[in-house]
């Protein structure tokens, strides 16, 4: 440095150069995160990209010439869960794939859905997919080998979705929608007056639908469908399907079908898993005129869809086509599942070369257990008995060559008999209505035109023989409704509202009544009550509401509501009792007769159940009050006795006596005084 403070270069330049190296013993105690905190916050992680990648194992190993065909098959299966961005098929030195592939989806949700749904998919007998997320490899490789005892988690009790079945009086519930659908109320059938369980405004924007076993209540909204259940009817799950119009349940209540016929997307029908809320598969339905589009078998293991000249059956384990092929049935018109077996029935109309054909087929073997050839067929309708023992095929045939008139007959198939015999019943006129007895071998037909219609009852005997049992003539009837327990039936002429309650045991009319402009008739699950209703949706100018009748036709209650829309009984799940248990209960029915009579008398009185419970609570409160005051009185008496004994003892000190003067008026006398005195 010079005198001015300026640096003067020296001859030895290396000695004067500053050194920025740290000493050899220097330890840096500042981390990179502290210095570059603003950069590390946005550092990308492996999971950000790997969460969309999945690994599919147990894929067939093929050579290069068959790789393109394998890719098409895999894409057809895996693309149903979302859009596949990239795919990679590892191969060895010879060009043969190694039996596993990598797929990248557009979103992590699509990848997670593919892992959950496609895992276990059976491509063929030798290849069952094993699907995992790619991020799981890192997670499992970093598992701590030291095992630690997990902490006990607090149990969170779940909603009891079957709480309504615990009612001690086994009272059924029903849902009522009124005020043009703006208000919904759930009621209990506690006659003579129903009890309101819950009421809400704007609960649904469409119609209501109970699940088959009554566990869920489905409500319709613009954004999709919501399911409600439990004691307080809280929301269990919701399913987003914009513009949904129709909803359907599988018989096992495991799956939900939503349908929007005017959807702009490719998928107009979507099947959801109710428990997880996840989409299982979507379909583009060409023909939306028939609902339901999907028909389920009795336990929800299969569902079928009618297409152009074929019937496609899918299994719910993988939601893939059963055996990867459809049932080829050219111009098939309709099909129905058996209510209790994996059996499907369908019919194909006749053409120039072949007559019409009706077929009953077992699933999944696809064995034709019965078929019948039909001639001059105009149309057919199928009716299964609820127990699956009988199947009725109503056949309309052309009566003349010009095909302007038709005649009808019934073909009754007895599926539990050997070789499935079939018997015919000729109709005397056009068939207006047909219905099987739910739990018996009887069926009823309504023939002809009002008011000169004929109602005939038949019974299928052992061996398939059909025996007519009763005939009612000159009736006006266009619908019949059996009790869920059989025997009793309602004959209705709607919308005129004529109702007849009939006992088919001795074939007598128990009561003939009227509910003017009635649009619907619905039995409760027990078969003890039946409701007739006038819906605002069908009759704009009428007294909207419902009437509750006994199975004998006795009027029990009226429910008149403004712009009443619908009334639906809540279904009950199948009984856990066996047929032997039910027979034992019926034998011992006299034991419960007195108890039932007491409850029936209580239901016939004006006192409601709430009033009885209130009186019991008041009586209990009064009894507790009386007991408490009695104990206080006994305690005070004991204290008084002790004080008196203490005062009587000789050594007791005299207490000071206080004198008190009390003045009170004895009498009052008025004396007139003369002014002159």
Q: pTM for the complete prediction?
A: 0.72
Give the model's pLDDT for residue 37. 61
Q: Which DSSP category does 137 fall into?
A: H
Q: What is the mean pLDDT of residues 313-342?
A: 89
Asked if pLDDT for residue 320 goes beyond 60, the answer is: yes
pLDDT class of 645 with cuts at 50, 70, 90? confident
Q: Rounded to an integer, what distance in angstroms lies between the CA atom of residue 321 and that of residue 579? A: 37
Average pLDDT over all residues of the chain: 86
Does 446 or 658 have the greater pLDDT score? 446
Q: What is the mean pLDDT of residues 528-534?
A: 95
Taking a C-beta distance cutoff of 8 angstroms, is the pair 494, 479 a contact?
yes
Asked if pLDDT for residue 50 goes beyond 70, the answer is: yes
pLDDT class of 33 with cuts at 50, 70, 90? low
Q: What pLDDT, in 10s, does the model give residues 76-95? A: 888 888 889 999 999 998 88
Q: What is the mean pLDDT of residues 596-600?
A: 77
Asked if pLDDT for residue 569 goes beyond 90, the answer is: yes
Q: What pLDDT, in 10s, does the model give residues 404-428? A: 778 889 999 999 998 899 999 988 7
Q: Rounded to an integer, what distance in angstroms lies between the CA atom of residue 659 and that of residue 458? A: 106
Asked if pLDDT for residue 15 goes beyond 60, the answer is: no
CATH number belonging to the domain at 46-138, selected among 3.30.70.330, 3.40.50.2300, 3.30.70.270, 3.30.2420.10: 3.30.70.330
Q: Rounded to an integer, what distance in angstroms lies between the CA atom of residue 161 and that of residue 351? A: 52
Q: Rounded to an integer, what distance in angstroms lies between the CA atom of residue 149 and that of residue 156? A: 21
Look-up: residue for tokens 């019991």? 616
Taking a C-beta distance cutoff of 8 angstroms, is the pair 102, 87 a contact?
yes
Asked if pLDDT for residue 533 goes beyond 90, the answer is: yes
Which alpha helices (DSSP H) does 236-308 contain, by range? none
Q: Determine what percent of the chain is predicted with pLDDT higher than 70.
A: 88
Give the model's pLDDT for residue 394. 93
Q: What pLDDT, in 10s, does the model give residues 256-284? A: 999 988 766 667 899 999 998 888 888 88
Taking a C-beta distance cutoff of 8 angstroms, is the pair 185, 198 a contact?
yes
Q: What is the mean pLDDT of residues 207-232?
A: 94
- The most confident of 165-174, 611-620, 639-648, by mean pLDDT: 165-174
Which backbone phi and psi does 37 adopt, to 5 degrees? -65, -35
Taking a C-beta distance cutoff of 8 angstroms, is the pair 433, 482 a contact?
no
pLDDT class of 13 with cuts at 50, 70, 90? very low
Which sequence spans correspond to the domains of the chain?
46-138
Asked if pLDDT for residue 351 goes beyond 90, the answer is: no
Give the model's pLDDT for residue 421. 92
Question: Positive or negative, the Cα torsion across 672, 673, 676, 677?
Answer: positive
Taking a C-beta distance cutoff of 8 angstroms, is the pair 72, 128 a contact?
no
Give the model's pLDDT for residue 2. 47
Q: Determine what percent of the chain is predicted with pLDDT higher than 90.
A: 47
pLDDT class of 385 with cuts at 50, 70, 90? very high
Asked if pLDDT for residue 47 goes beyond 60, the answer is: no
pLDDT class of 101 with cuts at 50, 70, 90? very high
Quick count: other Cβ atoms within 10 Å of Cβ 316? 21
pLDDT class of 367 with cuts at 50, 70, 90? very high
Q: What pLDDT, in 10s, does the model give residues 117-153? A: 788 888 887 888 999 998 888 777 788 888 888 888 8
Asked if pLDDT for residue 662 goes beyond 60, the answer is: yes
Give the model's pLDDT for residue 520. 93
Does 167 or 666 have the greater pLDDT score? 167
Nearest to 457 by CA among 485, 493, 486: 486
Taking a C-beta distance cutoff of 8 angstroms, is the pair 540, 548 a contact?
no
pLDDT class of 530 with cuts at 50, 70, 90? very high
Give the model's pLDDT for residue 79. 87
pLDDT class of 5 with cuts at 50, 70, 90? very low
What are 457's two structure tokens? 């009852």
Cα–Cα separations (whole angstroms), residue 407 to 391, 392, 400, 426, 500: 20, 16, 10, 9, 28
Q: What is the mean pLDDT of residues 317-341?
A: 89
Asked if pLDDT for residue 623 goes beyond 80, the answer is: yes
What are 408's two structure tokens? 């009808």
Q: Rounded to an integer, what distance in angstroms lies between the CA atom of residue 400 and that of residue 172? A: 52
Question: Positive or negative, the Cα torsion across 610, 615, 616, 620?
Answer: positive
Look-up: residue for tokens 């059956």? 313
Asked if pLDDT for residue 444 goes beyond 80, the answer is: yes
């Amino acid at each position: 440095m010079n005198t001015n403070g300026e640096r003067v270069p020296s001859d030895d330049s290396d000695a004067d150069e500053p050194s920025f190296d740290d000493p050899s013993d220097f330890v840096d105690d500042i981390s990179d995160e502290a210095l570059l905190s603003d950069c590390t916050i946005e550092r990308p992680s492996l999971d950000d990209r790997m969460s969309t990648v999945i690994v599919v194992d147990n894929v067939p190993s093929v050579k290069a010439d068959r790789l393109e065909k394998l890719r098409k098959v895999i894409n057809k299966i895996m693309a149903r869960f979302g859009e596949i961005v990239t795919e990679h098929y590892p191969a060895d030195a010879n060009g043969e794939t190694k039996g596993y592939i990598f797929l990248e989806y557009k979103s992590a949700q699509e990848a997670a859905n593919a892992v959950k749904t496609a895992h276990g998919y059976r491509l063929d007998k030798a290849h069952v997919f094993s699907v995992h997320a790619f991020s799981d490899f890192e997670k499992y490789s970093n598992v701590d080998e030291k095992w630690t005892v997990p902490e006990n988690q607090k149990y969170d009790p779940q909603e009891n979705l079957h709480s309504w079945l615990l009612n001690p009086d086994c009272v059924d519930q029903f849902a009522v929608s009124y005020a043009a659908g703006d208000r919904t109320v759930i009621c209990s059938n506690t006659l003579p007056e129903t009890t309101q369980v819950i009421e809400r405004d704007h609960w649904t924007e469409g119609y209501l639908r109970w699940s088959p076993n009554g566990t869920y209540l489905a409500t319709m909204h613009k954004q999709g469908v919501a399911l409600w259940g439990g004691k307080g009817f809280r929301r269990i799950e919701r399913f987003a399907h914009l513009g949904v119009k129709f909803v359907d349940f599988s018989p096992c209540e495991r799956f939900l079908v939503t349908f929007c016929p005017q959807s702009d997307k490719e998928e107009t029908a979507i099947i959801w898993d109710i428990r997880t809320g996840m989409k299982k598969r979507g379909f583009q339905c060409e023909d939306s005129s028939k609902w339901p589009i999907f028909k389920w078998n009795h336990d929800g293991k299969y569902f079928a869809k009618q297409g152009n000249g074929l019937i496609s059956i899918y299994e719910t384990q993988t939601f893939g086509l059963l055996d990867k092929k459809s049932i080829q049935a050219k111009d098939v018109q309709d099909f129905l599942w058996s209510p209790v077996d994996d059996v499907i029935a369908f019919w194909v109309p006749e053409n120039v070369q072949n007559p019409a054909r009706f077929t009953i087929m077992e699933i999944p073997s696809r064995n034709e257990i019965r078929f019948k050839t039909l001639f001059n067929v105009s149309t057919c309708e199928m009716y299964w008995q609820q127990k699956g023992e009988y199947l009725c095929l109503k056949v309309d045939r052309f009566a003349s060559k010009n095909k302007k008139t038709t005649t009808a007959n019934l073909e009754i198939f007895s599926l539990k008999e050997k070789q499935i015999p079939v018997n015919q019943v000729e109709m005397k006129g056009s068939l207006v209505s047909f219905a099987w007895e739910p739990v018996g071998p009887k069926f009823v037909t309504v023939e002809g035109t009002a008011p000169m219609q004929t109602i005939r009852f038949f019974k299928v005997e052992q061996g398939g023989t059909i025996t007519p049992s009763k005939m009612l003539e000159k009736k006006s009837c266009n619908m019949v409704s059996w009790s869920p327990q059989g025997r009793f039936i309602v004959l209705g002429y709607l919308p005129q509202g004529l109702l007849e309650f009939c006992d088919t045991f001795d074939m007598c009319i128990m009561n003939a009544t009227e509910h003017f402009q009635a649009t619907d008739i619905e039995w409760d699950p027990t078969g003890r009550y039946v409701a007739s209703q006038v819906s605002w949706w069908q009759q704009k100018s009428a007294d909207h509401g419902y009437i509750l009748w006994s199975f004998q036709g006795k009027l029990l209650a009226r429910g008149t509501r403004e712009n009443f829309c619908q009334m639906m009984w809540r279904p009950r799940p199948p009984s856990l009792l066996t047929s032997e248990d039910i027979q034992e209960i019926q034998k011992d029915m006299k034991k419960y007769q007195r108890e039932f009579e007491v409850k029936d008398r209580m239901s016939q009185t004006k006192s409601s159940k709430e009033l009885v419970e209130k009186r019991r609570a008041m009586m209990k409160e009064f009894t507790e009050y009386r007991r408490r005051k009695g104990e206080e009185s006994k305690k005070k008496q004991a204290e008084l006795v002790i004080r008196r004994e203490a005062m009587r003892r000789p050594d007791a000190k005299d207490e000071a006596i206080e004198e008190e003067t009390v003045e009170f008026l004895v009498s009052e006398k008025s004396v007139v005084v003369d002014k002159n005195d």
